[in-house]
Structure 1
Amino acid sequence: MTFHKVAVAIITPTHTKKSFELGLEMAKKFDSELTVIECMYKTPPKFYFFETKSDKKTTQNQITKLKAELENWKAVAQKQGIPIKTKLALTDNISHWVVDYVKENKIDLLIVDYPKLSMEEITLFDDIISIIHHKSHCHLLTTKPS
């Protein structure tokens, strides 16, 4: 079995580097292209019909932080000679966005990070991973903490 396109989807706000490192190893082993996707829910505005300056600033701070992280991972992959793409997904529905991306880009292997979470978060992210697993039609690896 070979994987031509490997993607790492970071779906939780508290994640480890484990999934990225595994994606890097897999891309190296199979001489594959690597894509790292940072997924973030759109923050609902405080007021239903419009965003305040505070809402916009919060979202921009999150985006800036995630873009910096993607740039760091891009640098690591490039040092090792791995072709890499990065993508920031600001969405209302992470699972559907990831499934659509996997299908549109013909991803062979998807790696999803699953760190230690609170009980409330576990329910949400279990649902996300379940939908991705059943609808993405590609190989899926889930990295869990040791």
Structure 2
Amino acid sequence: MIKQITVAIITPTHDKKSFELGLQLAKKLECPLSIIECFYQKPPTFHFFETKTDKIALQKRKDQIKNELSKWEKIAQKENVPITTKFALTDSIAHWIIDYVIENKVGLLIVDYPKLSMTESTLYDDIINTIHHKAKCHVLTAKQ
């Protein structure tokens, strides 16, 4: 039935509930799990070049994500669930995820949706709606 499960982390403030849900489903359905974490490429402080502060902040965010994904890989390996992880720095989270789903023939996409401020929820509602309408797979939104 479902041959590939992907958990997409799209918000900077998330918990690991969507990961745990994906892990349990992958274990039960005996299929591989992939975790993708996406964040927006922040424009440089000065439009023509990145400052040293911009580069440091970006590297800090990348290291934080790599560390988190590494922890999740270890948890999945303990549960004997095949896992792959990937993170993306992109201008369009929704379109990157849709392309990933198509390229990797994902059967079930789980998208995180924690509690957000009104401003943030408007942005992420648009992303999730785009994913729901354009993804060619089952989509499950994991709310907090």
TM-score tier (shorter):
over 0.9
In the other structure, the counterpart of 2:128 is: 129
The whole-number CA distance in structure 1 between the counterparts of 2:43 and 2:2 is: 37
- Code of the residue aligned with 2:20 in structure 1: it is E
After superposition, the C-alpha distances for 1:50-71 in whole angstroms (9 at most, x for unaligned) are: 1111101000000000000000
Q: TM-score, normalization: structure 2? A: 0.99
In the other structure, the counterpart of 2:26 is: 27
Q: CA deviation at 1:47?
A: 0.4
In the other structure, the counterpart of 2:140 is: 141
Runs of 5+ unmatched residues, structure 1: none
| Aligned partner of residue 36 in structure 2, secondary structure | strand
**2:53 counterpart of 1:54:** yes
In the other structure, the counterpart of 1:77 is: 76
Q: CA deviation at 1:4?
A: 0.7
Runs of 5+ unmatched residues, structure 2: none
The whole-number CA distance in structure 1 between the counterparts of 2:21 and 2:2 is: 13
Identical residues among aligned pairs (%): 60
In the other structure, the counterpart of 1:107 is: 106
4+ residue runs of structure 1 moved beyond 6 angstroms? none
The whole-number CA distance in structure 2 between the counterparts of 1:50 and 1:104 is: 33
| Aligned partner of residue 80 in structure 2, secondary structure | coil
Q: CA RMSD in A?
A: 0.5
| Aligned partner of residue 142 in structure 1, secondary structure | strand
Q: CA deviation at 1:43?
A: 1.3
Matched pairs, number:
144
Q: CA deviation at 1:137?
A: 1.1
The whole-number CA distance in structure 2 between the counterparts of 1:42 and 1:59 is: 9
Q: CA deviation at 1:40?
A: 1.0
The whole-number CA distance in structure 2 between the counterparts of 1:35 and 1:48 is: 35
In the other structure, the counterpart of 2:85 is: 86
